[in-house]
């Protein structure tokens, strides 16, 4: 059981040391793989364009308007700097913002020139600028070549393939399709000349910073607007230090001038948008006041004409003292009532606006109605700013994005507070309005005591005074709004603008490519060797045999370079001949240890055909014969006889004839040219070889041979293919089981191991055949049985001439 456990255990063990040696043996494969990998890495690196990183620094501050008072302010700063910083970060990455920047810089137009390996970005590196006519369609994706003849004249060229092409109007962003026939367009133009072509419209302006090189080609092409925006929406934004109002903006690309312009213009657009939002109330107030002034101006003209007509008709030029006093008080009350009524009307309008609409970006400003209550002004300012941000973010995010949920929650909270404040304020205003109406009623009762002409004059002058007061009030509000708007500054301040200072190169990372090349150049052959070793089922080393079986190894026989199987006879001083002499010594030691006297028998078998069974049988018989021992080589492979060819004898009669009683022993024994060596061939192929070998006649043959010979060598069939050899084991004093290097498969050991463990096979040993020492682990390992001796053969063995690499390759190809 212990023996069985050991065999099972070694079969599942991976030979890591042997695997490492196999890796070393395949060093040319690693060198070749690494050379290819580094070649690819170099090819990629030299063609990669340099990558630069440009940056700028801004701060989002909370600037208060210097004219901010409770009476004049038309805006309200809310949420503190923190909210403004977060909003700025979101806006900078929003699609609508980047659309504005791309449109301002016309980055949908690409400038290119020929580089060393490829075309490169030539923004601000061409002797011209293109002023695109955004109202006319431009061709997308088609290169237009520009070649200057001199400093003024240039030639436009482009090639059309037959079919439809896409054009885009960059003003409306609409696309159109137009058919072009296959042709090459070429035409000359001059700097400053307006160009109107079916595929391009614009004007070329000179770039004084770049000199003209005649006939040097430059290229321009147009990109889909949305694709251009997506390409430049990758601005990296970070707070430095975290949580502060300072933002660092950075971009990477292959053209530093392009990066610098984009960073500076994205900040400029942000500044303009921030100032526009800050002036939102003032702008809308001015617009509203202008419409009211126009209306009140018409009313004032009509009332003034009515007053003059009344005075001319009734010859009444002025009021008496009592009427003047009443009129003065009524005018004051009328002005108060008009102001209070405007507030009440505003609250009603605002309340209806908040309850019936969902877009609060156009909520009217409280200052228009003279409302200075802090909670109302703050609430309206907050809800307007939030609505503006929501509208702007809708260009960059889907409607179900979390950012909209947060904004909607804030808007709803502010709206709830506003509605409560409106109801409270409306109650107070109604009380004040009731008091004013009561006072007006008292004075109107006194007026009715005056003469009729005086009453009519007071009514007209009251109407005139009220219109004039309202008109003057709107003029005053308009002046305040203009003052606030003029005094507002953007909350975005540039600390460090983007600038090309000569550095900024961050790529390409060529070292990483070489590291990856080394990694892949090593891993790929490593995996190939591992897979080859892992799925290799053949025996390569002595250690392989030791791991797979506990049957002892008798010796190792090298690869013979003799054309025939008579290696010992033809080259008696070769290492192969010495290996067989070592096997002879080992066999004699085994016989002595077992106490066998008289005739000794050796059975040579193998797993399958081709493992050197016949070669070993012939040469073992030869070495015994050379020691002047009478030896007979018995060919028992009745299915595939071989041994007769090497001895130049025929196979007409042999073992089969003896077994079927067609001949006696003297009739089948054939002499050879080697003294003391006789051969008995197998004879004609029988239909029932197994039955013949199992017959009593076979036992008689062995007994007769023992009476004449000292050694009987049995060349048997492969035990892994037929059962004949198993029937012959009883005649063998020693059994040699052949294992051929790089040929015998590991699975072949299972059957012989099983029989050895059960005791069905005894006195069996392995011979490792066709051995070639290539420095691989296990090949030079010696047991003292004779193999390994050839490695120290200088002066003892004949040098065997090795085939040239070309001949070895040719031989492998033929095989």
- The per-residue pLDDT for range 398-425, each reduced to its tens digit, is 667 777 778 888 888 888 888 888 888 8
Average pLDDT estimate for 159-175? 94
Give a yes or no: residue 730 inside a domain: yes
The answer to whether residues 614 and 648 belong to one domain is yes
Higher-pLDDT residue of 5, 801: 801
Helix, strand, coil percentages (3-state) for the chain, rounded to 5, are: 50, 15, 35
Higher pLDDT pick, 322 / 214: 214
Residue 145 banded pLDDT, cuts 50, 70, 90: very high
Whether residues 307 and 334 share a domain: the answer is yes
- Least Cα distance to 303 among 473, 459, 476, 453 occurs for 459
Run of H or E including 271: helix 256-278
pLDDT at residue 325, as a whole number: 66
Same domain, 430 and 546: no
pLDDT, greater one: 25 or 317 = 25
Mean pLDDT confidence for 491-511: 85
- Where among 278, 300, 323 does a domain terminate? 278
Q: Provide CB contacts within 8 A for 370, sequence distance 6+.
A: 339, 342, 343, 473, 477
497: Cβ contacts below 8 Å, ≥ 6 apart: 56, 263, 264, 267
| Residue 53, in any domain of the structure | no
Residue 470, classified by CB atoms within 10 Å of its CB into exposed (0-12), middle (13-18) or buried (19+), is buried
Q: 665 and 722 in one domain?
A: yes
What pLDDT is stored for residue 144 in this prediction? Answer: 95
Q: Quick check: bond before 365 cis, omega within 30? A: no
State the residue for tokens 């063990």: 13
pLDDT digits (tens, 9 = 90+) for 540-553: 888 888 888 889 99
Query: Does residue 192 sit in the same domain as residue 264?
Result: yes
- Stretch 86-102: mean pLDDT: 88
The pLDDT of 430-435, averaged and rounded, is 81
Same domain, yes or no: 695 and 769? yes
pLDDT at 708 over 70: yes
Instruction: Give a yes or no: residue 471 inside a domain.
Output: yes
Contact 147, 219 (CB under 8 A): no
Q: Which residue has the tokens 């409770």?
A: 70
| Residue 562 confidence (pLDDT) | 84
Strands 600-606 and 734-740: parallel
Strands ordered across the beta sheet of 138-139: 138-139, 163-168, 175-180
Q: Is the pLDDT of residue 258 over 90?
A: yes
Distance separating alpha carbons of residues 406 and 396, to the nearest angstrom = 16
Measured CA to CA, the distance from residue 243 to residue 562 in angstroms comes to 87
Average pLDDT over residues 629-647: 88
Residue 408 has what pLDDT?
80
Same domain, residue pair 577 and 636: yes
Q: Identify which has the larger pLDDT, 355 or 575.
A: 575
How would DSSP label each residue in 738-782?
Answer: EEETTTSBGGGHHHHHHHHHHTSS-SEEEEEEEE---S-TTTT--
pLDDT value, residue 71: 44
Q: What is the CATH number of the domain that holds 733?
A: 3.40.50.300
Identify the domain boundary among 278, 296, 324: 278
Contacts of 714 (CB under 8 A, 6+ apart): 601, 602, 603, 604, 617, 634, 636, 728, 731, 732
Residues 514 and 530: their CA atoms lie apart, in Å, by 24
What pLDDT, in 10s, does the model give residues 299-352?
667 766 766 666 556 654 455 555 566 667 767 777 777 777 777 887 787 877
- Evaluate if residue 13 carries a pLDDT over 60: no
- pTM for this entry: 0.55
Give the model's pLDDT for residue 44.
Answer: 86
Q: What is the mean pLDDT of residues 703-709?
A: 93
pLDDT at 506: 84
CA distances from residue 174 to 19, 87, 170 in whole angstroms, order as listed: 66, 30, 7
**Quick check: 199 pLDDT over 90?**
yes
110 shares a domain with 25: no
Residue 288 has pLDDT above 80, yes or no: no
203 part of a folded domain: yes
Segment 703-708 mean pLDDT: 93
The per-residue pLDDT for 622 is: 93
Q: What are phi and psi of 161, to 5 degrees?
A: -100, 145
Q: Which residues on neighbouring strands pair with residue 628, listed in sequence order?
A: none
Lowest mean pLDDT among 65-79, 317-331, 610-624: 65-79
In a domain, 627, yes or no: yes
Give the model's confidence band at 729: pLDDT under 50 very low, under 70 low, under 90 confident, else very high.
confident
Cis amide bond preceding 196, omega within 30: no
Whether the per-residue pLDDT at 193 is higher than 90: the answer is yes
Q: How far apart are alpha carbons 141 and 775 in whole angstroms?
A: 62
What are residue 740's DSSP bridge partners?
Answer: 769
501 found inside a domain: no
The arithmetic mean of pLDDT across residues 651-655, rounded, is 90
pLDDT in tens, 771-787: 887 544 443 333 333 33
Structural domain tally of the chain?
4
Q: Please check whether residues 67 and 42 belong to one and the same domain.
A: no
Listed residues 278, 306, 324: the one ending a domain: 278
CA 696/CA 727 separation, integer angstroms: 12
Q: What percent of the chain has pLDDT over 90?
A: 35
Mean pLDDT of 361-370: 66
Cα-based distances in Å from 735 to 67, 181, 566, 725: 115, 89, 21, 10
Q: How confident is the model at residue 7 (pLDDT cuts 50, 70, 90)?
A: very low
Distance CA 569, CA 672 (A): 12
Does one domain contain both 608 and 743? yes
Q: Are residues 11 and 70 in the same domain?
A: no
pLDDT exceeds cutoff 70 at 363: no
Q: Could you tell me if 474 and 299 are in contact, meaning their C-beta atoms sit under 8 angstroms apart?
A: no
Strand partners for 745: 538
Average per-residue pLDDT for the chain: 80
Cβ 278 vs Cβ 490: under 8 Å: yes
Categorize the per-residue pLDDT at 701 as very low, low, confident or very high, splitting at 50, 70 and 90.
very high
d(CA 567, CA 246): 91
DSSP-derived secondary structure letter, 784: S
Question: 50-59, 342-351, 459-468, 778-787: which range is least confident on average?
Answer: 778-787
pLDDT of residue 310: 64
Q: What is the mean pLDDT of residues 14-19?
A: 72
Range of the domain at 526: 2-48+508-534
Q: How far apart, in Å, are the Cα atoms of 733 and each of 587, 591, 594, 604, 702?
A: 10, 8, 9, 11, 12
Spatial contact of 484 and 73, defined as CB atoms under 8 Å apart: yes
**What pLDDT does 23 receive?**
84
Residue 750 pLDDT grade (very low, low, confident, very high; cuts 50, 70, 90):
confident
Instruction: Note whether residue 388 is domain-resident.
Output: yes
Tokens of 272: 């303009």
Give φ, ψ of 457 to 5 degrees.
-65, -40
Q: How many residues would you count in the chain?
A: 815
pLDDT at 464 over 70: no
What lies within 8 Å, CB to CB, of 528 at 6+ separation is 29
Looking at residue 790, its pLDDT comes to 38
Rounded Cα gap, residues 355 and 414, in angstroms: 13
Q: 41-45, 122-126, 198-202, 435-439: which range is least confident on average?
A: 435-439
Instruction: State the residue for tokens 């971009």.
Output: 251
- Is there a domain that residue 499 lies in? no
Bridge partner residues of 155 (DSSP): 147, 188
The pLDDT assigned to 4 comes to 38
Least confident range of 655-659, 662-666, 808-812: 808-812
Give the pLDDT mean for 478-489: 66
Q: Tokens at residue 643, please? A: 């041994």
Q: Is 475 in the same domain as 519?
A: no
């Amino acid at each position: 059981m212990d023996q069985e456990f050991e065999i099972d255990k070694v079969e599942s063990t991976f030979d890591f040391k042997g695997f490492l040696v196999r890796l070393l043996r395949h060093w040319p494969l690693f060198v070749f793989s690494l050379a290819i990998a580094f070649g690819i890495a170099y090819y990629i690196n030299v063609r990669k364009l340099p990558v630069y990183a440009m940056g700028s620094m801004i701060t989002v501050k909370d600037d208060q308007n210097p004219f901010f008072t409770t009476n004049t302010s038309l805006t309200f700063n809310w949420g503190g700097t923190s909210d403004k910083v977060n909003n700025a970060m979101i806006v900078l990455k929003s699609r609508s913002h980047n659309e504005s920047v791309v449109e301002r810089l016309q980055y949908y137009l690409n400038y290119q020139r020929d580089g060393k390996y490829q075309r490169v970005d030539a923004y601000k590196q061409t002797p011209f600028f293109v002023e695109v006519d955004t109202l006319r369609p431009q061709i997308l994706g088609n290169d237009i070549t520009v070649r200057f003849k001199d400093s003024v004249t240039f030639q436009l060229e482009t090639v059309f393939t037959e079919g439809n092409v896409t054009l885009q109007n960059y003003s409306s962003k609409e696309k159109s399709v137009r058919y072009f026939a296959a042709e090459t367009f070429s035409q000359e133009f001059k700097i400053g000349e307006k160009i109107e072509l079916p595929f391009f419209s614009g004007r070329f302006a000179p770039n004084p910073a770049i000199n003209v090189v005649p006939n040097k080609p430059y290229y321009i092409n147009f990109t889909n607007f949305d694709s251009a925006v997506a390409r430049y929406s990758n601005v990296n934004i970070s707070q430095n230090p975290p949580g502060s109002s300072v933002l660092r903006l950075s971009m990477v690309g292959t053209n530093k001038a392009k990066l610098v312009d984009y960073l500076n213009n994205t900040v400029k657009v942000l500044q303009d948008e921030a100032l526009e939002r800050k002036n939102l109330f003032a702008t809308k107030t001015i617009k509203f006041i202008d419409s009211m002034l126009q209306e009140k101006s018409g009313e004032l003209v009509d009332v003034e004409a009515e007053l003059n007509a009344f005075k001319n008709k009734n010859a009444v030029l002025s009021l008496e003292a009592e009427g003047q006093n009443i009129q003065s008080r009524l005018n004051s009350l009328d002005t108060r009532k008009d102001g209070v009524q405007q507030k009440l009307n505003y609250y009603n309008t605002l309340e209806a606006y908040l309850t019936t609409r969902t877009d609060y970006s156009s909520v009217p400003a409280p200052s228009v109605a003279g409302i200075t209550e802090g909670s109302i002004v703050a609430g309206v300012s907050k809800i307007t700013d939030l609505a503006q941000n929501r509208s702007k973010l809708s260009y960059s995010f889907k409607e179900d994005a979390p950012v909209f949920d947060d904004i909607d929650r804030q808007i709803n909270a502010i709206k709830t507070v506003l509605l409560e404040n409106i109801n409270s304020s409306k109650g107070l205003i109604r009380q004040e309005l009731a008091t004013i109406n009561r006072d007006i009623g008292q004075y109107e009762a006194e007026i009715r005591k005056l003469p009729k002409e005086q009453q009519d004059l007071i009514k007209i002058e009251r109407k005139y005074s009220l219109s004039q007061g309202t008109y003057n009030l709107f003029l005053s509000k308009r002046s305040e709004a203009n003052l606030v708007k003029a005094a507002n500054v953007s909350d975005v301040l540039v600390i460090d603008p983007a600038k090309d200072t000569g550095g900024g190169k961050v790529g390409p990372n060529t070292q990483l490519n070489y590291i990856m090349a080394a990694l892949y150049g090593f891993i790929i052959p490593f995996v190939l060797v591992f897979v080859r070793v892992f799925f290799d089922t053949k025996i390569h080393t002595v250690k392989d045999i030791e791991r797979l079986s506990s049957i002892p190894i008798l010796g190792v026989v090298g690869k013979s370079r003799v054309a025939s199987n008579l290696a010992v006879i033809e080259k008696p001083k070769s290492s192969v001949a010495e290996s067989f002499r070592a096997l002879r010594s080992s066999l004699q030691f085994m016989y002595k240890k077992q106490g066998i006297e008289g005739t000794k028998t050796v059975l040579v078998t193998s797993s399958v055909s081709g493992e050197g069974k016949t070669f070993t049988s012939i040469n073992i018989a030869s070495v015994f014969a050379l020691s002047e021992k009478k030896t007979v080589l018995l060919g028992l492979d009745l299915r595939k006889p071989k041994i007769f060819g090497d001895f130049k004898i025929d196979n007409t009669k042999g073992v089969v004839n003896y077994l079927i009683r067609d001949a006696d022993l003297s009739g089948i024994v054939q002499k050879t040219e080697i003294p003391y060596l006789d051969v008995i061939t197998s004879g004609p192929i029988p239909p029932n070889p197994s039955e013949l070998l199992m017959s009593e006649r076979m036992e008689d043959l062995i007994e007769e041979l023992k009476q004449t010979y000292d050694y009987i060598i049995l060349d048997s069939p492969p035990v892994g293919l037929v059962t004949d050899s198993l029937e012959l084991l009883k005649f063998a004093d020693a059994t040699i089981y052949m294992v051929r290097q790089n040929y015998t498969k590991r699975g072949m050991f299972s059957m012989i191991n099983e029989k050895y463990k059960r005791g069905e096979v005894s006195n069996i040993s392995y011979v490792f055949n066709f051995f070639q020492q290539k420095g691989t682990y296990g090949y030079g390992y010696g047991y003292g049985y004779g193999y390994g001796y050839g490695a120290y053969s200088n002066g003892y063995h004949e040098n065997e001439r090795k085939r040239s690499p070309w001949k070895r390759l040719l031989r492998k190809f033929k095989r």
